Amino acid sequence: MSKVIQINVTYNNGSTGKITHDIHTYLTNNGVESVVLYGRGKRVKGKNIVKVGFELPAKINKFKSLFTGNQYGYGFFATKRVIKLLAKEKPTVVHLQCLNGYFINIYKLIEWLNRNKVKTVLTLHAEFMHTANCDHSYDCKQWITGCQNCPDYHYATGSFLRNYTVKSWKRMKKAFEGFDSLTVVPVSNWLKSRVERSPFFNSHSIITIHNGIDISCFDYVKKDTDTEVLTKYNIPLDKKIVLHVTPSFDNPMKGGEYFVELSKMFGDEYIFVVVGLSDKSFASIIHIPFTNNQRDLAVIYRSAAVLVICSKIDNYPTVCLEANCCGTPVVGFDVGGVSETIFPKMGETVSFGDILQMKTAVEKWATTDIDEQYIENCRAKNSKERMSSEYMSIYGLEKEKNDVRKEE
């Protein structure tokens, strides 16, 4: 039996944790032995789900990086544990998801996989694997030729003292050199266009796979219990809901200030709702702490007139997929891969920072009835099954899936 080992910072928590869980479930259901190694969060009980990191060492690693700038080079014991497991299990494929979170030495792990010629799939959910430093490089292009004298190394590495960007770039480049058994999977075509310029990956196979979600949860069919959920969160039932969903509303990258400004431009017919952690409160906005209750979140999505995403940069935000699959149009700034997440005729992007253009778009889509066929097409495109099937093809394990179907 073929065996796939996924490695991610979390499991079934946050966007990449859910993706890891969905792929794990799909592989198991299709005749492939699947193992997940994860580094942060609560310990999860389940077959072949192993927590390899611990919270205290990860926090210590983060603290050290504030002074050294070395954010990807710690995690000695977790790295040793992972490599020992890989050597023992001898997987057919190792699938690397998000390796941040200060739990593992990325350089050492990549070097080991490279040296042992392990077939590896690397999914890029952010930019730090090809910049070797920052999650998002914005307009900076130093990572193409080699980071030098980074003007904002505190943002790039979190360090208050040492500029580690040059050394990190060189270490990452060396780790990937000659890695012939590597396939790189950016989650958006926008990200792919950047990865193709990286000297780490420009000689490798680079294939885009868009993320998928649980469309059985994020459904557009209204239910009798929806009213109870809205009442629980004090959301009025007689107004058009303009929604913003983010893990952290205070994160400058998410552009919360634009949503606040937008909320002041509408009359009483509209109500603005934020689902996301924040230390601030605004008179014009109903604020709901970020919830992991996916069923409640689906109700809020499908009750909204429009979802607004104000990110200053984003690779492939799954909130847009969730909203569209709930039948809710999306309006966002045209940055990163945002436009790729909005299904045709179910929303639009506008020029970054143009709040008047965004207001016009919100008014348009908040009063537009979405054709049910568009929603169904959107759901088929954005399902976790579609995503997982594409990964299985990249693994080269279609035979296992076909064998399971024959047995059924």
Please list, in sequence order, all residues whose beta carbon lies within 8 angstroms of the beta carbon of residue 59, skipping any fewer than 6 positions away.
102
Please list, in sequence order, all residues whose beta carbon lies within 8 angstroms of the beta carbon of residue 338, skipping any fewer than 6 positions away.
309, 311, 314, 317, 320, 332, 349
- Is the CB of residue 110 less than 8 Å from the CB of residue 94? no
Here the tokens at position 188 are: 């958006």
* Domain 3-212+384-407 matches domain 226-381 at the CATH topology level: yes
Here the tokens at position 220 are: 């557009």
Residue-level pLDDT, tens digit, the chain, 408 residues: 899 999 999 999 888 999 999 999 999 999 999 999 999 999 998 899 999 999 999 999 999 999 999 999 999 999 999 999 999 999 999 999 999 999 999 999 999 999 999 999 999 999 999 999 998 898 899 999 998 888 888 888 888 888 999 999 999 999 999 999 999 999 999 999 999 999 999 889 999 999 999 999 999 999 989 999 999 999 999 999 999 999 888 888 899 999 999 999 999 999 999 998 788 788 789 999 877 789 999 999 999 999 999 999 999 999 999 999 999 999 999 999 999 999 999 999 999 999 999 999 999 999 999 999 999 999 999 999 999 999 999 999 976 666 655 555
For residue 310, give the nearest of 251, 382, 375, 233 by alpha carbon. 251
Bridge partners (DSSP) listed for residue 96:
7, 122
CATH architecture of 226-381: 3-Layer(aba) Sandwich (3.40)
- Is the CB of residue 41 less than 8 Å from the CB of residue 10? yes
Look up the CATH number of domain 3-212+384-407.
Answer: 3.40.50.2000
The reported pTM is 0.92
- Is the CB of residue 317 less than 8 Å from the CB of residue 247? no
Give the CA distances from residue 271 to residues 163, 235, 287, in Å, rounded to whole numbers and listed in that order: 45, 8, 11
Q: How far apart are CA 120 and CA 180, in angstroms?
A: 9
3-class DSSP state for residue 256?
A: helix
Delimit the domains of the chain by residue range: 3-212+384-407, 226-381
Q: List the 3-8 sheet strands across, edge first.
A: 49-51, 33-38, 3-8, 93-96, 120-124, 182-186, 205-206
